[in-house]
Amino acid sequence: MKSIITRYKQNPILNPEDMPFDCFAVYNGGAVKIGNEYILMVRAEDSKRKSHAWVARSSNGVDFTPDPEAVKFVAEDMETYQKYAADSWYDPRINVVEDKYYITYAAAGKHGCRVGLGKTTDFKIVEHVSFPLHVQNRNGVLFPEKIDGMYVLLHRPDVNGGGSMWISRSPDLKYWGDTEVVTPKRSGLWDSIKIGAGTPPIKTDAGWLVIIHAVCGNCAGNYYTMGSVLLDLENPGKMIGRSAGCIMRPEADYEQTGFVPNVIFPTGAILEDDGEVKIYYGAADNYECMATASIEDLIKSCKN
């Protein structure tokens, strides 16, 4: 389909064989640019299909070198922590909030899956901060600044296999409330089963831009596309606009074939000085990829 998004020609930027361990799949990476260094924190599955968070670094945003080891998650009380995150850490996002680096991820343990929230300085060790809300929830991303004195989180609770994008606020990253739907799924459309962040919000004059994933169904199962949402700067619980349709669909070989065919899943976005947005996304739950769009086009996509 026609798209405002251009795939990087040498996609995937990370393949399983690029990783320094028995890697089954590498995808859904959070992204940040610090000075001239690009950092990805990807979901890296081993051949047992256990997910780890793994960092890769680059000087140009496309040629990445993985760290020798997985990210370590630590908590003051590891016994309690592991009740909720012993099984895997997946789909990590890198959130820059007031110059600090927070990792949001899906924490899977024996009681289900929930949003995990940690902080890091070196992207090797993530210190536990909290598990916001309860189980049956994931795809958490933080806004880059406090709004009305509150930290703000987007997340996507699971409701009978579907889910909308919700928002919660917190004075301290530990206690969360004012939880409401910000972008509901809609029956019969491209976002009929699930819609959620996506990338951490990017501040623009027009509003908070969030590149989102959306899921509709077909005879083969779930079909994952990419879309965009614009939220009000002062009250991000108010949606200004959502792309009329998806802005990108699985079309490349590495998106249409792999562990889960027909999945694209954006998890990181870096706004460059020239207005280009590098979008990092997982393809087919198997590969890490990159595509670009202009910030103007992304904003415009939410307004039609």
Can you give the binding site for its own copies, defined by CB under 8 A? 80, 83-84, 111-112, 130-137, 155, 157-160, 164, 166, 168-171, 174-181, 184
For residue 254, count other CB atoms closer than 10 A to its CB. 18
| Cβ 110 to its own copies shortest distance, Å | 8
| Cβ 220 to its own copies shortest distance, Å | 22
By C-alpha distance, which of 244, 256, 238 is closest to 301?
Answer: 244
Contact between residue 228 and residue 277 where contact means Cβ atoms under 8 Å apart: no
Closer to its own copies by CB, 84 or 208: give it.
Answer: 84
Closer to its own copies by CB, 154 or 295: give it.
Answer: 154
Planar angle of CA 182, 193, 235, nearest 5 degrees:
5
| Cβ 71 to its own copies shortest distance, Å | 23
Closer to its own copies by CB, 131 or 224: give it.
Answer: 131
Closer to its own copies by CB, 42 or 215: give it.
Answer: 215
| Cβ 140 to its own copies shortest distance, Å | 11
Contact between residue 295 and residue 202 where contact means Cβ atoms under 8 Å apart: yes
Tell me the three state secondary structure of residue 301: helix
| Cβ 215 to its own copies shortest distance, Å | 16
Tell me the three state secondary structure of residue 117: strand
CB half-sphere exposure, 65, CA atoms < 13 A: 5
| Cβ 164 to its own copies shortest distance, Å | 6
For residue 9, count other CB atoms closer than 10 A to its CB. 6
Closer to its own copies by CB, 84 or 280: give it.
Answer: 84
Q: Return d(Cα 263, Cα 255) in angstroms, integer.
A: 6
| Cβ 135 to its own copies shortest distance, Å | 5
Closer to its own copies by CB, 130 or 256: give it.
Answer: 130
Q: Identify each DSSP E strand in 232-285 by its residue range.
A: 239-242, 264-271, 276-283
Q: Return d(Cα 52, Cα 42) in angstroms, integer.
A: 8
Planar angle of CA 3, 248, 36, nearest 5 degrees:
90
Closer to its own copies by CB, 209 or 229: give it.
Answer: 229
Task: Note the Cα 154 to chain centre separation in Å.
Answer: 10
